[in-house]
Amino acid sequence: MRLFLALFAMLFFLACENSTPKPGTPPTTTETKEAKIPESKTVSDENGFVWQTETFADLGILRYQVPDFEKLTLKQKEYVYYLTQAGLAGRDIIYDQNYRHNLTIRRGLEKMIENYKGDKSSRAYYDLETYAKRIWFANGIHHHYSMDKMLPDFSKEYFMEVAKATSVNFSDEVMNAIFDPNYDNKKVNLDESKGLVKGSATNFYAPDLSEKEVRDYYESIKVKTDKPVWYGLNSKVVKGDDGKIMEKVWHSNGMYGSAIKEIMAWLEKAAGVAENEKQAKALRLLIDYYKTGDLKTWDAYNIAWVEATDGDIDYINGFIEVYNDPLGYKGSYESIVEIKDFEASKQMKVMADNAQWFEDNSTIADEHKKKKVVGISYKVVSVAGESGDAAPATPIGVNLPNSDWIREIGSKSVSLGNIISAYDEASGPGMLSEFAHDKEEVERIKKHGGLGDKLSTALHEVIGHASGKLNPGIGTPKETLKSYASTLEEARADIVALYYIMDQKMVDMGLMESLDVAKAEYDGYIANGMMKQLRRIELGKVIEESHMRNRQLISKWVFEKGKKDNVIEKVTRDGKTYFNITDYNKLRTLFGELLKELQRIKSEGDYEAGKALVENYGVQVDAAIHKEVLDRSEKLKLPPYKGFINPRLVPETDADGKITNIKVTYPDNFKEQMMYYAKNFSFLPNEN
């Protein structure tokens, strides 16, 4: 399972920004030469670090930092290095999984870009490179989010011209794949009328197979057990010459074998420098699984992996998520290498150690307080490298394994802290200045916003979700609060964080230097809950997502309750609306009141009160404000989707070739990184 930053994923932004010609009417070469090349936007911070290196089409390219790498020993650095190399070694696999012609097309374009000697300043050439970059971003010719085929903006004639000049040849079928809007035009099709298997371009099933044939096949091989393997996870289903259905399994001597052997070689090296025996055991099982393709070994590996909880380094590697298979059997190749976020872990330990103090000092009714509260452990990691399905577009959190019976033994849930920070840094300045009431606010958020977000996330997870108890005889929130349970639970955890971040105790515990951090958090929260987040909602629609509902619920509730004291004033200036907090302490008192009420609703299972809160404050959108937010954010031209350039880990060696140190560098050019990967981590034939 993975969590995504849903906010950039709104299609209507695409519609607004899309000024490219419609498919089927490609511009002629002469016209495109005159067309202006779109502006690329970069975002840097005060230290000169470039968080967003470029924008093109509907995409923004970001970078993330890995400060925790420097805190590792040499052996740990080697471990991280080998794991990231292993991840990159399998990179070609995701292209082929996504579509059978992806590798042919990608390599053709890479050759064209590498060797073309003609005019590179024309709009047509810009469009050609942009097409290549979009393919690198999506690991194929279908859009990573909408799943629709991305059609080029250049003409077929221009494409042929560059192909000829660089000795690139494509078959008619591949040309159709690139230019014909109706050919293999959906990566994952969930519209049953077109056939889930036949309507999808992903390369998990031979094109002549139907959904029924596939399902019948898996039904026929299933063994009755309460510990089932994940049937079909690592194979392509085809029809043999005898017409019988069979699987081409992905293992070292099967399909994708040439890339899998490279992955295994790096994993061997990693196993040699693992932090402890449990990690090494898990890695050896993973290698064994890649060698044989045996799904029982995959399960044994997953059990060993969830049990390997010690150490500062962890990773995901394998055929993992099944979102790209309309039938949910096939795992997409991915790799994420993670280093413990030492700072966040320390903060959370301090909070967990003080969990009882927080419970005792809460505004909730005494009978709802736990006598003995235990902080919930929560893991934040720094990503050191991503590959396959996790890159360049990345999740922000991952919860694995997916197999239910193994999850009962254990599971790992991580939040990708440095990725979330990079999103903040890159989207910050434009939206922040546009919606902040005054300069003081902007400066405070720039200075303290990052820490404020981290601390409130930690408070939300460690203290918020752990706090409070149900009255005797009351059912679980799922039973009592039904469809409102998750919004109300998130609101309750959020408001615990809001209430406590303004507490002197936070300063006394050494978590922050002054309450300015809390003020920054309050300003940011209210601006988001009252306005900013509405940019993710289509005009005329209501709020559906539970985190968005809870943020508006809290913001609107305190705005309304504080009206008589003008705690938050609504300001209109030059036709623009702002929400300005006039009294931070009174606002905190209001948060405390709402906290008490939210806990009462949960403890008593008061469905009607919970429903009223969500429906009255969380769901409905103020149409005028909504329109205004959309207009104001549209003017900022923020890219709807974002993905990342990986840092590069560069080993330094002595005369004997022994690694003496590993340095992190931060490449700043997406195209160069993709061309580098193509040269150094490409092990599959065009067709598999």
Judged by the rule CB under 5 A, the positions of this chain that interact with Zn ion are 493
Count the Cβ atoms, other than its own, within 10 Å of residue 420: 18
Structure tokens at 490: 């998130």
Q: State which residue, 457 or 682, has the beta carbon closest to Zn ion.
A: 457
Q: Which of 348, 372, 352, 351 is nearest to 360 (CA)?
A: 372
The pair phi, psi for residue 597, each rounded to 5°, is -70, -40
Q: How far is the CB of 412 from Zn ion (least distance, A)?
A: 17
Q: State which residue, 402 or 457, has the beta carbon closest to Zn ion.
A: 457
Count the Cβ atoms, other than its own, within 10 Å of residue 270: 27
Give the residue at shortest CB distance from Zn ion. 493
Q: How far is the CB of 486 from Zn ion (least distance, A)?
A: 9
Q: State which residue, 387 or 415, has the beta carbon closest to Zn ion.
A: 415
Q: State which residue, 141 or 493, has the beta carbon closest to Zn ion.
A: 493
Q: State which residue, 459 or 515, has the beta carbon closest to Zn ion.
A: 459
Q: Which sign does the torsion angle of CA 538, 544, 545, 549 carry?
A: positive
Q: How far is the CB of 592 from Zn ion (least distance, A)?
A: 19
Q: How far is the CB of 184 from Zn ion (least distance, A)?
A: 40
Q: How far is the CB of 361 from Zn ion (least distance, A)?
A: 21
Q: State which residue, 108 or 524, has the beta carbon closest to Zn ion.
A: 524
Cβ burial 569-587 (10 Å sphere, 16+ → b, else e): eeeeeeeebbbbbeeeebb
Q: State which residue, 90 or 610, has the beta carbon closest to Zn ion.
A: 610
In sequence order, the 6+-apart residues with CB closer than 8 A to the CB of 498 are 456, 521, 522, 525, 554, 588, 591
Q: State which residue, 317 or 457, has the beta carbon closest to Zn ion.
A: 457
Cβ burial 289-299 (10 Å sphere, 16+ → b, else e): bbbbbebebbb
Task: Provide the β-strand partners of residue 573.
Answer: 576
Using alpha carbons, list the distances in angstroms from residue 649 to 577, 652, 653, 663, 665.
46, 10, 13, 6, 6
The crossing angle, in degrees rounded to 10, of helices 74-89 and 91-98 is 30
With 0-12 / 13-18 / 19 or more C-beta atoms within 10 angstroms meaning exposed / middle / buried, residue 119 is exposed
Q: How far is the CB of 560 from Zn ion (least distance, A)?
A: 24
Q: State which residue, 384 or 493, has the beta carbon closest to Zn ion.
A: 493
In sequence order, the 6+-apart residues with CB closer than 8 A to the CB of 539 are 12, 626, 627, 630
Q: How far is the CB of 544 from Zn ion (least distance, A)?
A: 17
Q: How far is the CB of 397 from Zn ion (least distance, A)?
A: 11
Scanning the structure block, which residue is given the tokens 């350039």? 645
The amino acid present at 162, given as its one-letter code, is: V
Q: How far is the CB of 493 from Zn ion (least distance, A)?
A: 5
Task: Provide the β-strand partners of residue 249.
Answer: 235
